Each structure stands twice: as C-alpha cells, then as structure tokens.
Amino acid sequence: MTGDRKFFVGGNWKMNGTKAEIAVIAKFMKTGPLSPNTEVVVGCPQCYLGYSREHLPANVGVAAQNCYKAAKGAFTGEVSPGMIKDLGCEWVILGHSERRNVFGESDQLISEKIGFALSEGLKVIPCFGEQLAERESGRTKEVVFAQLSAMKPNITDWSKVVLAYEPVWAIGTGLTASPAQAQEVHAQLRQWLRDNVSEEVANSTRIIYGGSVTAGTCKELASQPDIDGFLVGGASLKPEFVAIINAQQ
C-alpha cells in the first residue's frame, strides 16, 4: 500500500450482536491499542447503530449495513441516510454479496443507493466480487468490472468511497484468496479506475479486501501494494479484530 492511502479496516457484524455483546466488543476496542495509522469503521445491525455509536471509541466510525435510495416514505423496513446520520453515524456498507445473492439486489439498485447515500452526506463502502463458478470459469475481471461500471455513474465524490472487493467464495467459508490472488485483482481494479475514472482517483481510492480475513492471514495480505485494508466479518466480533486493525505494524 502506498503512503498516501490510509490503511482502512472495516468490521461487518452482519446480523449478530446484543447490547451485552456490543459492550464486550466496545471494551476490547477501547483496550486496543488501535494503530493510529488505521482508519477503523464497524458495520452494526440497524437497531444498534445508536447504541454502538455511544459505546464504541470515538475514533472508531460506525456504519449502517444498508440503506434505501429515498429520504423518507412508504418503504417498510428500510432506513434512510438521514436516519443513519441522525444517530451520529457517517458510513454505510452497500451492495454486500449477501444483499446481492440472498436478497436479490441488482447492480442498478445498488448503484442508485450508493448515489443517494453520497448525495445525503454519507461515506460509502460499496462491495462487489465474483462467485466461485465465475472465478473457476475465468470471468473474475468481467464480473467485477461490470459491477464497478454499474456503480460509476452514481459515484459523485470518490474521496467518500472505500471499495471493498470480496470474492464471494471466500466469505464465511474459511477460504481466503492467497495474497497473490487478491493482489492480482486489486491491481486490475486500480487499473480500471485509471482507465475509466482518472489517475488521481486510481492513486487515492482505497481498495480493501474481504473474505475470511483473520489475525493469521492479515499481515501478508496487508503487505501487498494494492491492498489498502480489509472488510472483516466474523473476526470483527472477536478480540483478534484488534490484531487485524494493527496488521501493518
């Protein structure tokens, strides 16, 4: 990773957590110590966003795991960017593979949600990545470039975006892309930004890796030049999350 891109570690709690469990997470996050050279953001279940913001250290950002593309209205079960901000949170994770593959969200819907969240002042972690069959058939580049291309028209401010590449076959499976596999895709993604957005955006945008990242795998992944951090699932619920945050030390 180059020096002008601050290392970024996101935690995605998914549908996990109670007040008691969040208090335990807050305690080990406060104990740390967390590297001052890493920006840290955790994605909480929507109902605990306010509680998490109150209890986590002030230097840890809090993200919603989803939001809708409207400010208010008849959208039962959804939350708006304004509601997220009203709870003191500045981030949202959008387009996670589970939103795409379990709940059927399309590239177009995800793109529209990214655009609206940015317009409302949230910072966004858009997720994208290929499934196992797509990787095995040599379609990784085709799939991830198509997902990026769908997002691009609605990304108005790249400085508010942290791209999360998550090979779907490595999420929650214990399988991790090798550092060389992950670096290869990250380098291709950065070249895509160079070719389709600008040299400046390619050099400054953080591209983080997600997919069964653990304390054991994080250091070697973090040493790759185009891997600017991680989006961490299960390990973000455990004390080893601190070691992942400090992967560059």
Residue 237 lies in a domain: yes
Query: Rg of the Cα trace of the chain?
Result: 17
Give 17's contacts (C-beta < 8 A, 6+ positions apart): 25, 44, 45, 48, 237
CATH number at 218 reads: 3.20.20.70
Residue 176 lies in a domain: yes
Is 186 assigned a catalytic role? no
Q: What is the DSSP string of 158-186?
A: GGGBEEEE--GGGSSSS----HHHHHHHH
Residue 2 lies in a domain: no
Are residues 114 and 94 in contact, defined by beta-carbon separation less than 8 angstroms? Answer: yes
Q: List the pLDDT tens digit at each of the 249 positions of the chain.
A: 455 899 999 999 999 999 999 999 999 999 999 999 999 999 999 999 999 999 999 999 999 999 999 999 999 999 999 999 999 999 999 999 999 999 999 999 999 999 999 999 999 999 999 999 999 999 999 999 999 999 999 999 999 999 999 999 988 888 878 999 999 999 999 999 999 999 999 999 999 999 889 999 999 999 999 999 999 999 999 999 999 999 998
- Set 96, 112, 130, 186: catalytic member: 96
- Full residue range of the structural domain in which residue 150 is found: 7-245
Residue 216 lies in a domain: yes
Residue 70 lies in a domain: yes
Reported as type and span, the H/E element at residue 10 is strand 7-12
Reported as type and span, the H/E element at residue 207 is strand 206-210
Residue 1 lies in a domain: no
- Set 39, 134, 166, 240: catalytic member: 166
Q: Is this structure's pTM higher than 0.75?
A: yes
Domains in the chain, number: 1
CA distance 224 to 173: 22
Residue 223 lies in a domain: yes
Residue 197 lies in a domain: yes
